[in-house]
Chain A
Amino acid sequence: MNAVLATILKRLGLGFATLVVVSAIIFSSISMLPGDFGQAVLGQSATEETVAAFRKELGLDKPAVVRYFEWAGSVLQGDLGTSFSGRNASGQDRSRQVSDLVMPRLWNTLFLAGVTALIAVPLALFLGLTTALYRNSAYDRTVNAATLTTISTPEFFVAYILILFFASLWPVFPSLANVNATTDLGERLYRVALPALTLTLVIVAHMMRMTRAAIINLLASPYIEMARLKGASRSEIILKHALPNAWAPIATVIAFNLAYLVVGVVVVEVVFVYPGIGQLMVDAVTSRDIPVVQACALIFAATYILLNLTADIIGIVTNPRLLHPR
């Protein structure tokens, strides 16, 4: 067990270090802003004093290292700073806390991603497994051609085709997925149907192809041939000989695609005007509201790192070489 523990701790340490460096990169982006951004935020008529006060509020007068630790410290306490918007030239500040903007939307995004994952992961694993088992059959070729087409297609194309058919020509689902805190679960599910379907189509295509490749790779191992020559049936081969060795590759595939989901969610939220964190980020980018952009980027990156970390740890705890060291 010690070898496993040591490897996990090492991997956790590496994940943490990556997170620190990534947060530092995200943080330092504010220092790359052009010098006159204070005026851009506050308006052309902003006085020298208000700009200077604004810069002081951001802490631009302190050394970068000090600022980073202050920022990181407050992020850890849930304080993501204040938005750039809502300020004006006269020094009035009606800006909101970034965390107030982000949190409700974060839950919306997690809800959408969660619904998608619940449908997409089992479906993709099933398709990947069956196409790998019935390789080169008509079924395999059909699924492959369909997924190759989906992969080559931009998410918004899939989304608009779904809207065209299921919201416009044959209106069964709403084309706008507007939800708020008071929307109940049933209504919520109904409204996210099309965005979730869009994401599912895109994710399933990727995940199914990777699962298929991983399983085919596994089934080519000499020990699988050996199992056949020992008289094992097809189901025994899959369940007893392939599956115990498949957790690591499958976990990697799932994590990779959930990470992809995190990115795909941005475009889909914009198409369906879904009040999630992705749309918030795009709006913030357009208005160059840097604190909000930073917060969103940090959340996306952390999710991404966490997912990959989880996959690696699953790979570690299912690896017989580590579980049973020499």
Chain B
Amino acid sequence: MSEQPETYAAAAEVGAVRKRRTRLERAGLLLKSAPPSAWFGMIVVGFYILVAVFADVIAPYGEAQIHPIPFAPWGGEFMFGTDQIGRDVLTRLIYGARNTMGIALATTLLSFLIGGGLGLMAAINRSWLDQLLSRFVDVLMAIPSLIFALMLLSIFGSTVTSLIVIIAVLDSTRVFRLTRAVAVNVAVMDYVEAAKLRGEGLGWIMHREILPNIMPPLVAEFGLRFCFVFLTIAALSFLGVGIQPPTADWGSMVRENASLIQFAKYDLTAAITPLLPAAAIALLTVAVNFIVDWFLHKTSGLRDDH
């Protein structure tokens, strides 16, 4: 038998009154307790969002504006130089934030809409629908998702819409599995049975009893899935079958300027140019991971309390 800290039993004796705080106060306290890694994550993500939203204002040039000098060096007119056809790298980076993150976010949202909705339905229904969906998802997951995405892109072509839909559908299988698993765990709880015995309808049970209790793992999963989708899209764009030019995007920027690395001995800054978008991708995923780690730690701690 595991020992409980004695404060638990003491609270029962004294019946200590703990004042309930408003959501805002709770959020404030939560932020105060955030470790440095989480702060770092939040600041980075906040910065990225600002850049993405105000891309038009910040960017020194137009997204696809071509200047006469290709591969211009760093400094002066072009802070990070120009790319192979003379577009300003800084501008492309800024617009890339908007495009890459926007597409990844749309994809993740769609994937949660499909996977989360079906997962909840399967968890509550638990009959033929559950069987059908679960087997179907098993099969889809038997094909590596990048390979599947490549195959589907070869058929439907690399438009932004098909990219979003294809990746969202493939990724929704994982969301489905998780949602179904956590929802099934909650659906067998006595309080859900109590609600059924009370005569509550399906709407109440889903919305009031189950959903609030599966939110923390789903929110954490949203962060992780976003990273995964973001990296997949970057990889596809890098392979040349994702986001297509002239749309600025970090994955394809790496591909387009990769040859500059060869010149590291002569001009180190030029060689770093293709690494800038790659680093931008890595920084964002690290930041999101830090936040998710902290969030998971917080919410799992909440579960330990009772």
Task: Check B227 for interface membership: any CB of A closer than 8 A.
Answer: yes
Query: B-facing mask of A164-177, CB < 8 A → 1, else 0?
Result: 10011100000100
- Which residues of chain A come closer than 8 Å to B289, judged between CB atoms? 148, 151-152
Partner of A160, one of B155, B157, B227, B254: B254
Q: In the complex, are the beta carbons of B142 and A18 less than 8 A apart? A: yes
Q: In the complex, are the beta carbons of B151 and A161 less than 8 A apart? A: no
Task: Check B53 for interface membership: any CB of A closer than 8 A.
Answer: no
Task: Check B296 for interface membership: any CB of A closer than 8 A.
Answer: no
Mark out the residues of chain A between 8 and 54 whose CB falls within 8 Å of any chain B CB in the assembled complex. 18-19, 21-22, 25-26, 29-30, 32-33
Interface residues of B: mostly helix, strand, loop or mixed?
Answer: helix
- Which residues of chain A come closer than 8 Å to B286, judged between CB atoms? 148-149, 152-153
Q: In the complex, are the beta carbons of A18 and B138 less than 8 A apart? A: yes
Q: In the complex, are the beta carbons of A267 and B138 less than 8 A apart? A: no
Task: Check A247 for interface membership: any CB of B closer than 8 A.
Answer: no
Task: Check A67 for interface membership: any CB of B closer than 8 A.
Answer: no
CB distance from A326 to the nearest CB of B (A): 27
Task: Check A297 for interface membership: any CB of B closer than 8 A.
Answer: yes
Measured in the bound complex, the distance between the Cα atoms of B282 and A168 in whole Å is: 22
The count of chain B contact residues (Cβ–Cβ below 8 Å) is 45
CB distance from A59 to the nearest CB of B (A): 17
Partner of A263, one of B144, B227, B241: B144
- Which residues of chain B come closer than 8 Å to A151, judged between CB atoms? 289
Instruction: Please give me the residue from chain B that is nearest to A169 by CB atom.
Output: B264
Task: Check B153 for interface membership: any CB of A closer than 8 A.
Answer: yes
CB distance from B141 to the nearest CB of A (A): 9
CB distance from B145 to the nearest CB of A (A): 8
Q: A29-B151, A297-B151 are in contact. Are A157 and B241 (CB under 8 A)?
A: no
Mark out the residues of chain A between 174 and 222 whose CB falls within 8 Å of any chain B CB in the assembled complex. 175
Partner of B278, one of A148, A154, A304: A154
The count of chain A contact residues (Cβ–Cβ below 8 Å) is 51
CB distance from B240 to the nearest CB of A (A): 6
Partner of B144, one of A26, A167, A301: A301
- Which residues of chain A come closer than 8 Å to B254, judged between CB atoms? 156-157, 160
Mark out the residues of chain B between 128 and 151 whose CB falls within 8 Å of any chain A CB in the assembled complex. 138-139, 142-148, 150-151
- B139, B155, B251, B261 pick with most chain A CB within 10 angstroms: B155
Q: In the complex, are the beta carbons of A286 and B146 less than 8 A apart? A: no
Stretch with Cβ within 8 A of A (4 or more), from B116-124, B186-194, B231-239: B231-239
Task: Check A294 for interface membership: any CB of B closer than 8 A.
Answer: yes
Task: Check A300 for interface membership: any CB of B closer than 8 A.
Answer: yes
Q: In the complex, are the beta carbons of A300 and B144 less than 8 A apart? A: yes
Q: In the complex, are the beta carbons of A290 and B144 less than 8 A apart? A: no
Q: In the complex, are the beta carbons of B153 and A285 less than 8 A apart? A: yes
Instruction: Please give me the residue from chain A that is nearest to B241 by CB atom.
Output: A285
CB distance from B161 to the nearest CB of A (A): 15
Interface residues of A: mostly helix, strand, loop or mixed?
Answer: helix
CB distance from B270 to the nearest CB of A (A): 11
Query: A-facing mask of B251-294, CB < 8 A → 1, else 0?
Result: 10010001001111100100110110011011001100100000
- Which residues of chain B come closer than 8 Å to A241, judged between CB atoms? none
CB distance from A158 to the nearest CB of B (A): 9
Measured in the bound complex, the distance between the Cα atoms of B143 and A70 in whole Å is: 22
Partner of B240, one of A33, A164, A282: A282
Q: In the complex, are the beta carbons of B275 and A160 less than 8 A apart? A: yes
Q: In the complex, are the beta carbons of A21 and B139 less than 8 A apart? A: yes
CB distance from A195 to the nearest CB of B (A): 15
Q: In the complex, are the beta carbons of B139 and A25 less than 8 A apart? A: yes
- A151, A156, A290, A304 pick with most chain B CB within 10 angstroms: A156
Measured in the bound complex, the distance between the Cα atoms of B282 and A161 in whole Å is: 12
Task: Check B205 for interface membership: any CB of A closer than 8 A.
Answer: no
- Which residues of chain B come closer than 8 Å to A156, judged between CB atoms? 235, 238, 254, 278
List 8 A-B pairs, minimum CB-CB distance, nearest first: A157-B278, A168-B264, A152-B285, A285-B154, A153-B282, A152-B286, A300-B147, A301-B143
Q: Which residues in A have some Cβ–Cβ distance to B below 8 Å?
A: 18-19, 21-22, 25-26, 29-30, 32-33, 148-149, 151-157, 160-161, 163-164, 167-169, 175, 259, 262-263, 266-267, 270-271, 281-282, 284-286, 288-290, 293-294, 296-297, 300-301, 304-305, 308
Can you offer 23 A-B residue contacts whose CB atoms are under 8 A? A19-B142, A29-B152, A32-B155, A153-B281, A157-B275, A160-B274, A167-B261, A168-B262, A168-B265, A175-B261, A262-B147, A266-B147, A266-B150, A267-B235, A267-B239, A270-B239, A271-B258, A285-B151, A285-B154, A288-B154, A297-B151, A300-B147, A304-B144
Q: Which residues in B have some Cβ–Cβ distance to A below 8 Å?
A: 138-139, 142-148, 150-157, 227, 231, 234-235, 238-241, 251, 254, 258, 261-265, 268, 271-272, 274-275, 278-279, 281-282, 285-286, 289
